Amino acid sequence: MTVRTNPPGATVSVDNQVIGTTPAATSFVYYGTRELRIEKDGYRTETVLRKINPPWYQLPGLDFISESLWPGEIRDERIIEVELVPKEIEKTDTVVDRADSLRSQSLTGMVTAPN
C-alpha cells in the first residue's frame, strides 16, 4: 500500500502505526478497513477510513491456487492519494473576543457553545 499526498512530505499513520512521510509505502497482510491519519504542518490533519477489498485471486478456494500452485508471484499493490487542505488561521482579534466572551460567561455560570 502506497500513500501519496499533495503536497508531499506529510507524516502517515496506518492503524496508529507511523509508516513514514509521503510518499510512504507499507505492506499489509489482511484486507479490511484501514484508518489512515495524515499530518503536515500548516495543513488540516486528515483521518481517512479506507476499505481494502480482496482481489479475485484472494477469494476462498481461489486463494489456495494463487498462493500454492501459481508459478509466479502475484502482488496486490494499492495506491491511496490524499489532497491536503491548508489550515485556516483565525485572526488574533477573533480569538481574543471569543476568550473574553467565554470568560464573562463563566463568571455568570452559563457557558454556551461558540458560533
Whether residue 94 lies inside any domain: the answer is no
Number of domains in the chain: 1
Nearest by Cα to 35 from 20, 43, 46, 21: 46
Which residue(s) pair with 97 in the sheet? none
Whether residue 22 lies inside any domain: the answer is yes
Q: Which domain holds residue 16?
A: 2-88
Give the pLDDT confidence score for residue 4 in this predicted structure: 93
Average pLDDT estimate for 84-88: 89
Average pLDDT estimate for 66-93: 80
**CB hemisphere CA count around 112 (13 angstroms):** 3
Whether the model clears a pTM of 0.85, i.e. scores above it, the answer is no
For residue 101, what is its C-alpha cell?
Answer: 466572551
CATH number, domain at 22? 2.60.40
Give the pLDDT confidence score for residue 23 in this predicted structure: 92
Mind listing the pLDDT tens digit for each residue in 16-40? Answer: 999 999 899 988 777 889 899 999 9
Whether residue 73 lies inside any domain: the answer is yes
Which residue(s) pair with 38 in the sheet? 12, 46
